[in-house]
Structures are given as structure tokens and as C-alpha cells.
A and B are shown apart, each in its own frame.
Chain A
Amino acid sequence: MSIPPCLMRLKIINGRHHINLWLPLFLAWIILGALALALSPLVAILVLILWPFGWGKVLLMSGPTFYNGIGALREMKIDIKKSEEVVLIYFR
């Protein structure tokens, strides 16, 4: 199982903006994890209600799928330089 990215580097430089940030994503994962844990009883009830309609499985699997999708972002890098403009998005 992949580990979600802990940091995101965001760098935008153009005529108007000069942004160079390291965003601590791990803080967001802690908050989201706590939120998911708190909402899990409600989700379990919703899964049982929606199961006959075919959407219960979707709801049940949405958590792990979301986690896998976020984990897959690790090491993704978008680096664009155009004369005096720079855009860098990097998940680490």
C-alpha cells in the first residue's frame, strides 16, 4: 500500500505573483483521517441503506480508493518554465 505524499511544493512566479511554498500535506491527512474515523458509523449505516441500490459498495470502497489515488500522487511533478514565468507542483 502506498503512502500519501507528506509535502507539496507549490512555486508560481510571474509578473503578479511570487509564491514559493512547501505545504505540509501530512497535517491535512491527520485531520481527514480523524474526520473519516468520526464519520465511519454514519457511513456504515449509509452503506447498509444504499447496498440494495448498488451504491453501497461504491460508498464502502470510496475511502480506500481515495487513499490509493492520493498515495499515487507521490513523486508527481509538473515543472513548466516560460521566459520569466515558472510553475512547479511537486508532491513528495
Chain B
Amino acid sequence: MDNNQRKILEMLADKKISVDEAERLMSLLKPEDSSGTGSAGETKQTKNLPKYLRVEVKPNSDNPAAPHDRVNIRVPLALVRAGMKLGAMIPPDAYNQVDSALKEKGIEFDWRNIKPENLEEFLICLNDLEVDVHNGQQTVHIYAE
């Protein structure tokens, strides 16, 4: 048991956090923290990665006057990885041109700073993404699965 897990348990024992909060904090700890280093941790991390980004637009069933438009989009997140690989192929000269064009638009962003590890972290964080928009007529639901 590592320090983080011990702290969470101490906070739970002191009733500073609820059981649900403790469970959520435990799940947020990196897999290698809870299951040791090596392949087991990596396997668990891979398992947690979402595969698809879903966008759904559904009519509000409570409102009979609502339009019956429906949208159901499923985008494989492997496309993001493929895009990253495509980005890695860009020669340094082209990168410099992209950077200068972005700076002209007032965007201080260096694409070279995005590493594959960052992408994996981003994909793990997508697990918690959930956008729900209700406007009385339709519901928009964006999530990763």
C-alpha cells in the first residue's frame, strides 16, 4: 500500500470524506500505484482506455412538439492516435511554419510539446468526460465509451 492509498484511508477513517469519495479517489490513482509496476499495471491502464467518442442527439420524449431529429455518431479514438502519428511525420521546417502561422493568430502553442504519453493521459481522462445538454426539445449527450 502506498502513501496515497494510506492517506485516503486515513481521511475516510477520520470521516473527512465519504465512502463514495474515497472510492472515486482510489480509482483516480494510477494503475501502477494500486497494482504494482510492470505489465499488470499497463494492462489495466489499457483496459481503462475508452475506444469511442459518442455524440448523441435525441428528441425530448416529454415534449411531443419536439422535432424527431436524431444524431448518433461514434468516432473511434484510434483515429486520434493515427492523427498523432501523422503529426510526428511532419518535417521540422513545416512545424516551424505552422508555429509561426499560429503565433500570427495569437496562439502560443508548440505542437512538438505533445508527446504520446500526453495523448494516453488525455484518453484516460476522456473516461470521465460527459456532456449533457437539455433544451426542452432535444438532448445532446457527448461521452466516451
Instruction: Report which A residues bind B (CB closer than 8 A).
Output: 2, 54-55, 57-58, 61-62, 65, 68-69, 71-83
How many inter-chain residue pairs (CB < 8 Å) link A and B? 67
Interface on chain B toward A: helix, strand, loop, or mixed SS? mixed
Q: Is the CB of B91 within 8 A of A76?
A: no
Q: Is the CB of B91 within 8 A of A54?
A: yes
Q: Is the CB of B89 within 8 A of A62?
A: yes
Give chain B residues whose Cβ lies under 8 Å from the Cβ of A55.
91
Give chain A residues whose Cβ lies under 8 Å from the Cβ of B103.
none
Give chain B residues whose Cβ lies under 8 Å from the Cβ of A82.
67, 69-70
Q: Looking across the interface, which residue of chain B has its beta carbon closest to that of A70? A: B82
Q: Is the CB of B69 within 8 A of A72?
A: no
Name the interface residues of B64-100: CB closer than 8 Å to any CB of A. 67-76, 78-79, 81-83, 85-86, 89-93
Pick from B67, B68, B73, B89: contact of A77, CB below 8 A: B73
Name the interface residues of B47-78: CB closer than 8 Å to any CB of A. 51-52, 67-76, 78
Q: Is the CB of B76 within 8 A of A74?
A: yes
Give chain A residues whose Cβ lies under 8 Å from the Cβ of B70.
79-82
Q: Is the CB of A77 within 8 A of B74?
A: yes
Q: Is the CB of B91 within 8 A of A58?
A: yes
Q: Is the CB of A77 within 8 A of B72?
A: yes
A sample of 18 more A-B contacts (CB under 8 A), given A54-B91, A61-B85, A81-B70, is A55-B91, A57-B89, A57-B91, A65-B85, A69-B79, A69-B86, A72-B78, A72-B81, A72-B82, A75-B74, A76-B74, A77-B72, A77-B73, A77-B74, A78-B73, A78-B74, A80-B69, A83-B67
Q: How far is the CB of B94 from chain A (nearest CB, A)?
A: 8
Q: Is the CB of A73 within 8 A of B76?
A: yes
Alpha-carbon distance between A81 and B138 when the two chains are bound, in angstroms: 13
Given A72-B76, A75-B74, are A58 and B89 neighbors across the interface (CB < 8 Å)?
yes
Give chain A residues whose Cβ lies under 8 Å from the Cβ of B51.
75
